[in-house]
Structures are given as C-alpha cells and as structure tokens.
Structure 1
Amino acid sequence: MTTTAEQLSATTLLRFATAGSVDDGKSTLVGRLLHDSKSVLTDQLEAVEQASLNRGQEAPDLALLTDGLRAEREQGITIDVAYRYFATARRRFILADTPGHVQYTRNMVTGASTAELAVVLVDARNGVVEQTRRHAAVAALLRVPHVVLAVNKMDLVDYAEPVFAAIAEEFTAYAASLGVPEITAIPISALAGDNVVEPSAHMDWYGGPTVLEHLETVPVSHDLTACHARFPVQYVIRPQSAEHPDYRGYAGQIAAGVFRVGEAVAVLPSGRTTTITGIDALGESVDIAWAPQSVTLRLADDIDISRGDLIAPADDSPAVTQDVEATVCHVADQPLSVGQRVLLKHTTRTVKAIVKDIPSRLTLDDLSQHPAPGQLVANDIGRVVVRTAEPLALDSYEDSRRTGSFLLIDPADGTTLSAGMAGAAFAAAAEAVAAVDDAEWDF
C-alpha cells in the first residue's frame, strides 16, 4: 500500500504567486484555498476564528491565515511576501502571496521571480485597473509562463456573466500583447468559496475549472535537461588522500542541462576547452548528470579554475562580456545612479562593476519608456548598462531564468540594490504594446 509520503514524493511541484490591487481579495483567496483544501491545522483555524471575533467579525477572516505581520492585520493589507506550503493528492504547492500596493512592486518581483504561474485578481466591480496592468506587465517581464485571471467578488455583481466576460476579454487582449503565452480566466468569490476549490452553484454558465483544479492540472515543466547545459563552479575539491593524491574536482549544482563523461566542455570566462573524465555524485562515479543535481566534475586538463567559473558544452557556450545590458527592478530604498560602483553577483561569481548608463525607466501603467532618468528609485524597473571589472558568461534571461539573472549589490554594506535580467527582457513586450492604439486600453 502506498503511503502518504510516497504519494507526495511522486507528485509534481508548482510554484505560483498571487497579485492584484489592494482589497481585491488575494489573502482571502489564499486563505480559502488553504481552508477548503484541508491544509489548515486546527489550532491555526481556531486562532483565526478568535482573531476575527476580536475584530467584531462573525465569520472567520481567512485572510489572516497569510497576513501574519501585525501591521498587515492592523491595516487589513498585505505588506510583505507571505510564503505558504500545502499539498493535495495531485500536486505540491509553494505559494507566494504578494502585496498589491504600488510601493511594494519590488515584493511582487521577489515572489514571482521563481513562479511558474501567477494568479492576478481583479475586483469584478472595478474591472481592469492600473495595478492589474502593472502586475500583468511584471509577470510578462519575469517570463512567468502561465497567468490566471481570477475575477473576484462575483457575488457583489449578482454573478453576472457579461461582467466577467468583459473583464476577461480586456485582460486577455492586454496580457497577450505583452507576450504572456497562456491566460486562463476564472470567475470566483473568495469570500463565499465560489469556484475556488468547489464549483459554484451560482454560476452555471461557467463550465471551466475551479482555481484549485487548474492549479492541479496546469502543465508544469521542470525539465531543465532540455535547456543549455550550465555548471557554475562553487568549490574546488583537492582532498589530501593517499588513495587519490592527484584528485581535483569541481563541485557545484548543475543549473541547467545534462553533462556526460567524455563530453568536450569550455571553461568560462577563460574559454579554455577540455573533456569531462569523471562525474561524482553522492560519493559514486556516474556517467551522466543533469539539473538540478549537485555533483563534482573531473576534467582531463589542469586548467586554472576557481569559484565563479562556468562550465558549458564547448559547442554551446554563452557569450562572454564585460558590458552587461539588462532590465533591472530596483529593490533598495537608496537610488541606483549613473556612475555608481556596485558588485554584480551572477550564479557563484561576484565581480566589481560600475553603472555606465541608465537609458530608460519603464512606466508600468502604459509600458512607455522614460528616457535617461539618471537614476532608479525603489520599485522602479529600467534598462541599465553595467561595466564589469572582469568578464562574465551570461545567457539571455529569455533563454534561461537561472543563468540570465543577477543581483547588483552595495559594496559598502552588502545590501541588494537591484535584481537584473540580462538581455532585452522587456523590449519585445513594450514594442508590442506601443504599437497598439492607446485609446483601446483607455489609459
């Protein structure tokens, strides 16, 4: 007989994030998902019920299951990203409940950066608003492959199908113009539970999946083996052993792709080529290893290799450059300015760098470009050109979210300044929207 632990280990994992304007019901939706999927412990539910009574509410406020900070409970809003872990018989989930306020755009970027799916909530009474477009733009920027439009509070518009249809049509057209590959619209009432876990008895005109059913069945590919093979070196192993006096191995986690014994590889940024003579995994020698395994590679030649170098197939290596053009989301309270000296951290490599130029700042309301802003402040998204003191081997973020991303760090105190995406991560989406008549979107 299969145990629960064995069943869970056999299920796939879905990372997803919620987003939406303030008071659209994100935390209530998350609480409803946890409650109705039986993922809430008894003592947690009792604590929420007591807190709700203390606030004069007759029914439990399920939003309190995720809004754990005192300031969040006092203001009735989500401030920080709240991560929740739950599972059903069909799938395991890591959920990031992100804030809706515009000043917390950086928090949404944090929550959605590793997500395979984003749930964007819309209040059925208000329709698509600026924050809705902003969150769709961020999801497109971060290359989130699946977006769910959850039209919430349908109970407050008498469960009217035309209201849902109009909102779904407007959002789908806008998100598609950004390049979002898949959009699914679901009418819900998070407070009443309609179409969250159980199908709604009030919307017989809707024949699609509930939110949970879609989350359980949306195709998720964790097959990093199909990506360009990349191995950032984390540690050089030279054991002082009589059995293996000449052992030299390069340890780390495979970021993407597959490596095989006998394969010709290049060591970047030097560009020296060699051959894999052995792969050690969990103390055993293997002929093949794939992402995201942690392994040690042994190479045929004694090459100067250290932490931060990247090993890739000799015939499929990323470009090496010292001039990094990228889109960044600025997350620090202190601004990022032209001429500023920073550290750039890419995989296991950290190098000194200087901000040469900030060509534009993105206005997420309409995706227009504000030229030459001079600096980026907290929550800004813009294009930057960074010159590094040492060459880096970067992929385009469009090709790889793992090896196409980096951080800009304050060298004085180690504060993270910006999260970056190498290449023209948002140019195509911005150009697509710019080609659309502004009046169509009623900006």
Structure 2
Amino acid sequence: MQFLSIALSFASIAAAVSLSSPQPVSYDGAKVYRVKTGRQLASVKEKLSAFNYEAWNHDLDRHIDLLIPAGEVAAFEALNFNAKVLHEDLGASINAESHGSSLWKRQGGVNSSWFDSYHPYDDHVQFWEDLQASFPNQSETISSGTSYEGRDLFGLHFWGASGPGKPAVLYHGQVHAREWITAPVIEYIATQLIEGYKAGDNLTTAFLNNYDFFIIPFVNPDGFVYTQTTERLWRKNRQPGPGNSTCFGRDINRNWEFGWDANDRGASTNPCSQTYRGEAPSDTPENQGLDKLVRELRDTQGIKLYIDWHSYGQYILSPYGSNETNYAPELGKWTNTASRMSEAIRDSSDARTTFTFGPSGATLYTTTGAAPDHVYIFGEAEFSYTIELRDTGDFGFVLPPEQILPTAEEQWVGQQVLLSLLDETFFDGEGPAIFT
C-alpha cells in the first residue's frame, strides 16, 4: 500500500536525521485513526495541513488512515472529525506484534509453529535454508544480486518431474520494508507447494511438474532489518539520497524502467518522500539484480505468472498502474482469474475476507515504475499481479501475529485457483478438485 505525501511524516523526519541519529523511533502514545472523508475531503485536508502526520492509505474519497504523534493527539481530537481509532497506542501494538511465540526457535526446521509470530531476518534466512534442504534434489538456492548494504538477495528455485526448465512462476516479497506479513505468506505458500508435492498431492504435483517456481522472499532486506531495529514503519531501501540530501531510501517499486517517468502522479522526485523513484530507472542495486533475473527468465523459460506481494487493503491488481485509462489486451483474462481467486478466498475464510480486483491504476491509484507493469511489458509475463494482503484498515501495516496463519491459509487457497487457471489444459474432465 502506498504512502500519501500530503504532509511531513514520521518517516521523512527519521530519514532526514538518520545520518546522525540512528536511535530507534518511538511510537509510544501515537494513535492511528480512520477519518471519514467523502464530500468533505477538501475540508479534511485543509484542517490537517497544520499537523505532522502520516497517511497509511490512498482511498481518500472514502477515508484517510492517519498516524498522529502522541504530542498532537489532543489537538487532532479537538477537530472532532468523524473518525474511529484503529490503534489506541501504536507503540503498544508494535510491542505486541514483535513479541510472539518462541516455539519455532525451540523446535527448529520447517514446521507450522513458524506462522505463530513474526521473526528476525536471520531466522527467515534459516527458514529458506531449511526448506531447500528438505527438497534437495529438486530445488536450488539462487541470488538476484546484493542489496545496497550488501545483503544477498537470495531466493529459492524448485521444480517437479523431468527437471527444471519449464515456464516460470516468479514471486517477489517484502518489497516495502514495513509490510511484514508478505514474507510469512510467501513462506507458507512455498511450504505447501513442496510438502504437497512430496506427499503426492495431485494438484500440487501438477503445479510443480508444469512450472518452475522462483521466489525472492526479501526484495528489500536492508529496509526490513531497519524496521526491526530502528523504525518499524520504514518503507524504502536504505540507499543514501542524491547529492547533499540527508534523506535515505528509494522506493524499489517505483524504480522499474517501464513507466518510470510516465506522469507526475505515480511517484515522487523528492528524495525525502516515501515514494521517491530515484534519479534514474533501476538506479537501486536491488532493482538491477531483480530486473536481470526477469529478463533471463523471459529469454530462457518464459514467465507464466508474476506476483508482487504487498499489504494492506485486500486487492488483486493487474497492469496498468501507470495509466488508469490504458487497458491491456489480457485484461479480461486477468480480471476473470482474479474474480475466481477472490471468490475462493472469501468462501474459504471464516472472516469472509473480500479482495477487490481490477487494473491497478483504475482500481486503486496511479503507480509509475512499478513491478507488475514492467514484468508484463519487459518480462513478457502472461499473468502479472500485485496482491495487497490483509487487512482493510483495522490494523493496517501492524497486523497482529494471530492473523499471520489465517492470511497465509487464504492466500494458499487463492494460489491453488490461480495456478490451476494458468492453463486449464493440464486437467482432464471437469477440472481440478478445488472447483468441484
């Protein structure tokens, strides 16, 4: 989910002082509100102009989710907006989020207790090493390069019968550092694919026999580590700004070549902005490595499916993001597939989780230099999506640990539908059991 650059935020303040003050950012006493806008949007913006706040969403015609610092809560509440409180004390919510179960640490290896809590970066690295070791003859560790701070952009490539070389399914996770839920969701899906194949599940076996899976779980490892040590709501990578700028970070998902400068609404040229696109397309080391992998897969195997995983808002979005009136020839196919995914997720969930779907720019907001557009055009992906995970605003980026497993489980249901629909000729008769 994108960041709204209406006013100076916690993030831009921290970015401006990060060279001299790496102390952890405190959110103690800060509150998060959902303010109803509708026809009052202009008036709401005017009243907010005097505040130092961060907006978490872009659904401005309906509401704005606002993070208000502790020192400004009283003045904000005196405005008497039509609002509800999402986080009474954001610091307390973050503290609860960060102190989950230690069961996995005691057991080790790949097991279901992993999804009871969030984990440090090094534990995630170990998770993927363990997963590869559990499937050694049909998987390999890969890398798409290194991050600005030198971390390996590691990944996992795995396949089914008759060896690798089939059309690729490519997943990217943890692109925006603060969107913690994306990593465990991808980890759950990868685990289900591998364990299902090993158990002889017919549907999962068909997936691995017909596609090679390439998963880069941490596109932005530097930013993720920074959210765990210093600033929980950091979004971008950790690359210094240009020239004499004291601000850090580029938005990797505004840094792709296609549509990078298509308009002035889909990204920012301000190095202090959360959506700063960089000085030139692909001027982040992370993007350079990812783009190289995309082009290699295009030329050697072809890309059947690409998914860029994010949070929050519950959306399944297809190209184009850079132009809300530009519709791809494949839009009908993409929309029908997304509709069936959304229906399956809703029907599988006790919470009746609902995902909105459609072309990104028309459905949500304009994004330039974004991955799904680029991988569709330059990577020639047959299917290309952004999936925005839970929730729709009760918790936002700080999703409680108890929602990790339900979020992952419903996405696995959605992926079974999606992977089945990529090429229904794989299945004889009436189709896979998931549709019966």
TM-score interval, smaller chain: under 0.3
Greater helix fraction, Structure 1 or Structure 2: 2
Greater strand fraction, Structure 1 or Structure 2: 1
TM-score relative to the length of structure 1: 0.26
Where relative contact order (Cα < 8 A, 6+ residues apart) is larger, the structure is: 2
TM-score relative to the length of structure 2: 0.27
